[in-house]
């Protein structure tokens, strides 16, 4: 038992020593919205193109044993993120919640691409989440993850995850919530009649919206925990504590109205 403890301590020390923060250094881009620069002496600079977002700078610290990235700002507060490198991408996300219902809930996921490279080069080997919708479905979809004993947990021949959506749009699945499908848009949506084009609310650009057909049906992926927990509990008729992914299936015109862009 003592030898095992020593081995674990040595392994942890090896991780701490071998992790090289040089991998962070350089300029990282989140679409056309944010540039995050990691500089010498563990300094960083966060620059937003949107006037509604705040620019800040400071010193960052990394705790690789916890996949933790801490941005210590010039304003005296720190912003904690989890992180994962995927090829030329850096995915960061934070969690919110301080109650038993909301603790550990995924809040914001940001995918930065090194030097503005093509995001599509990143995700070719990653698996997808495939959602099976009812025929002619229109409305909101809520996916409630980590629900033991509920089933709804299938894999196809390529090990993509398949989740079936009932007529009321309220999904329960034993699958756990994952960061990477939302980070890279690794989704497919289909019904017995058709496949649906989709977009992620935070990533679509106004120029891309203009190229879509307003009367055609799309799937909009809003993200995790985008609806208040009281409303979620009311919809399911029970207390829901896990992460919930929200989608909307509708005409582009109606989706844009809910986004305040129409």
- For the residues of 112-139, what is the DSSP string, one character each? EEETT--GGGTSTTS--EEEEPPTT--E
pLDDT band at 100 (very low <50, low <70, confident <90, very high): low
The tens digit of pLDDT for each residue in 241-257 reads 889 999 999 999 999 99
The ranges of the chain annotated as CATH 2.40.128.490 are 20-121
Among candidate residues 142, 176, 151, 174, the one with its CA nearest the CA of residue 244: 142
Per-residue confidence (pLDDT) for residue 124, from 0 to 100: 57
Asked whether the predicted pLDDT for residue 198 surpasses 70, the reply is yes
**What is the rounded average pLDDT for all residues in the chain?**
87
Decide: 146 and 200 in contact? Cβ < 8 Å: no
Dihedral sign for Cα 112, 114, 117, 121, please: negative
Asked whether the predicted pLDDT for residue 197 surpasses 80, the reply is yes
Asked whether the predicted pLDDT for residue 43 surpasses 60, the reply is yes
CB count, 10 Å around CB of 145?
18
Query: 20-121, superfamily in CATH?
Result: Uncharacterised protein PF14869 family, DUF4488 (2.40.128.490)
**Rounded average pLDDT over 189-200:** 95
Per-residue burial over 48-69, b if 16 or more Cβ lie within 10 Å, else e, is eeeeeeeebbbebebeeeeeeb
């Amino acid at each position: 038992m003592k030898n095992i403890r020593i081995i674990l301590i040595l392994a942890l020390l090896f991780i701490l020593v071998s992790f090289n923060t040089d991998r962070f250094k350089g300029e990282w881009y989140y679409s056309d919205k944010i540039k995050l620069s990691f500089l010498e002496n563990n300094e960083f600079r966060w620059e937003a193109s949107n006037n509604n977002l705040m620019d800040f700078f400071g010193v960052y610290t990394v705790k690789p044993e916890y996949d933790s990235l801490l941005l210590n700002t010039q304003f005296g507060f720190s912003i904690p993120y989890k992180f994962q490198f995927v090829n030329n991408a850096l995915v960061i996300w934070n969690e919110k919640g301080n109650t038993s219902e909301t603790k550990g809930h995924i809040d914001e996921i940001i995918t930065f691409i090194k030097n503005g490279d093509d995001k599509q080069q990143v995700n070719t080997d990653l698996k997808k989440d495939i959602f099976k919708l009812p025929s002619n479905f229109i409305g909101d979809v809520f996916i409630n993850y980590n629900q033991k004993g509920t089933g709804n947990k299938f894999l196809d021949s390529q090990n993509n995850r398949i989740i079936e959506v009932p007529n009321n749009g309220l999904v329960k699945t034993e699958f756990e919530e994952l960061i990477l499908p939302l980070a890279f848009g690794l989704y497919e949506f289909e019904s017995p009649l058709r496949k649906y084009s989709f977009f992620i609310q935070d990533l679509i650009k106004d120029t891309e919206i203009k190229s879509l057909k307003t009367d055609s049906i799309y799937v909009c992926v809003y993200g995790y925990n985008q609806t208040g927990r009281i409303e979620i509990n009311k919809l399911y008729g029970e207390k829901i504590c896990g992460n919930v992914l929200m989608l909307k299936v509708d005409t582009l015109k109606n989706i844009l109205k809910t986004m305040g862009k129409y």
